[in-house]
Amino acid sequence: MRLKLLCITFLFSINFYSQIDPVLLKRTSKDSTQQTLNMDAVYNRPFLNIGKTPIAVGGYLEANWQRLSTDGVSEGHQFQARRLTIFMSSAISKRVKFLSEIEFEEGGKEIAIEFASVDVEFNPLVNFRGGIIMNPIGAFNQNHDGPKWEFTDRPISATQMLPSTFSNAGAGLFGKKYSKNWMIGYEAYFSGSFDNSIIENTENKTFLPAAKNNPERFEEINSGLPLFTSKIAIRNSKIGELGLSYMGGVYNKFQDEGIILDKKRRVDIYALDFNTTLPKIKTFITSELAWVKVDVPETYGQQFGNKQFGGFIDIVQPLLTKNVLGWENVVLNLACRLEYVDWNVGTFNETSGNIAEDIWSIMPALSFRPTSQTVFRLNYRFQKQTDILGNPPATTDGFSVGVSTYF
C-alpha cells in the first residue's frame, strides 16, 4: 500500500514538473579547480537548479546483469535493479543549506532516508550539521554514489563488515581549512547507535550491518547513550588524501528503569583511508582499511567474533580519452579491486587454531564513460570464502555488466 502511494505521488510530481519550462532547469556546474575531500561527497554531485529558486534536485540509477557460480553451481542469469537514489538541496540562505537523499533499493523493496540534514556555517572551520546524518567512518560510507565507481558491487568490507550508507539521527560539527597545497578537514557527531542486533541476527555471527534493519534507531537509542563518530582528513594536491576515522559507543541495553541488567558493552571501529592520482599516467588509487572490536558476552559461542578486520584497494587506469561518436572526452578505463574481510580475528580457546571465517576477492574490470556522470561496467569476480571451521574454501566466480548514471 505504501509503495502504491509513493507511485501515485511520483506520477503527480511528474505531471507537475512537466508544466515547467525546460529552460528553467539548469545543470549546476562544479568547480573542477577546487580541491575537495571525501567529506564533501554529499554536495559534490551534479544537480539541476529549478529556475532562480534556491532548490536543486538530482539523483542516480544503478542496474546490473550478473551470472555467478559457487563451486560450479549457478543460479543462472540475474537482472538487478540495485538502487534509485533521489536527492534534493536548498540554499535556505547564504550560510544555511539543506540536503536530503532518499534511496529505493531492489525495485522499491527497501526505501531509506539516507541523509536529511541542515548545515549552518558560522565559520569555515565551524559548521553545524543536524538531522539524519551519514556517519563518516572510512571513505566509502559517505562517498558511495554508483556513478563514481568502476565496479558493479560495493566493497565487501564496506557492506558486510561495516554497515554501508550507515546513517542515524544526530548532530555535530564539521569544518575545513586551506593553506596553499594543503587542505585539512574534520567531522564530529553524536548520533543514534548500534543495538543488540549486531550479535542477535540471522547471520549467527557478529554482523554490524544488521543494525540498519532497525528503523527505531531514528527514534531511540537502545543503550540510552549516543554513538560518537569523528574523522580527520588531510589532503595535499600533489600527494593525495589521508583520512583517519573512529566510531564507537555502547550498544546493549544495560539498564532498564534504573535496574542494572548487564555491564556496558561497547563497539569500537577504527578506519584508515587514502586516495591519490598518480601524475602523468593518471592512475587513480583509493583504499580503505577498518578494524572492529565488539564486547561480546561470554555466554555467546566463539562464532561471534569480538575482532574483525577488512578493507579494499581500487586501482583505475585510463586507457583512452578521446572524442567518439559525437561524445566529447569519452574515457575507457581498466580497473581492478582487491578486497579482504576476516569476520573473526583470533583463535579457538580449546585448540589455539585459527578461526578461519574470512573472504578474499579480486575483481578486474573495464569501464566506459561516455560522460563523467555515466558509466558502463564489465566486471569479473573471483572469490574464495572460508567457513569458521577452516574447511576448503568455497569458490565464487562470474561476470557482471552494469550501468550507473546521474540524472
The alpha helices in 20-159, defined as continuous H runs, are 156
Give the list of residues 6+ apart from residue 168 with CB closer than 8 angstroms, or none.
Answer: 132, 133, 135, 191, 192, 193, 217, 218, 227
CB atoms within 10 A of CB 394: 14
The pLDDT tens digits of the residues spanning 297-354 come to 999 999 999 999 999 999 999 999 999 888 899 999 999 999 999 999 999 988 889 9
Q: Looking at residue 28, what is its pLDDT?
A: 57
Q: Looking at residue 4, what is its pLDDT?
A: 44
Q: Looking at residue 109, what is its pLDDT?
A: 86
The pLDDT tens digits of the residues spanning 274-296 come to 999 999 999 999 999 999 999 99
Report whether 273 contacts 178 (CB < 8 A).
no
Instruction: Give 10-residue mean pLDDT values along the chain (407 residues).
Output: 45 38 48 72 90 91 97 95 94 95 90 95 97 96 95 97 95 95 97 97 96 90 96 96 98 92 97 96 97 97 96 97 90 98 94 93 98 97 95 97 97
Query: Can you point out the beta strands (E) in 295-357?
Result: 307-324, 327-342
Please report where in the chains the cell 555467478 appears, as a residue. 68
The DSSP line for 47-61 is -EEETTSSEEEEEEE
| 51 to 16, 38, 55, 117, 151: CA distances (angstroms) | 15, 29, 9, 23, 35
Q: Looking at residue 26, what is its pLDDT?
A: 53
Q: Looking at residue 289, what is its pLDDT?
A: 98
Q: Looking at residue 93, what is its pLDDT?
A: 94
The three-state secondary structure class of 215 is: helix
Q: Looking at residue 110, what is its pLDDT?
A: 86
CA distance 369 to 284: 15
Considering the entire predicted model, what is its pTM? 0.89
Cell of 224: 540510552
Kind and range of the H or E run holding 96: strand 96-105
CA atoms within 13 Å, Cβ hemisphere of 41: 21
Q: Looking at residue 25, what is its pLDDT?
A: 44
Structural domains of the chain ordered from first start: 2-26+37-406 (2.40.160.10)
Q: Looking at residue 6, what is its pLDDT?
A: 46
Q: Looking at residue 30, what is its pLDDT?
A: 53
CA atoms within 13 Å, Cβ hemisphere of 253: 10
Provide the β-strand partners of residue 97. Answer: 91, 119
Q: Looking at residue 52, what is its pLDDT?
A: 83
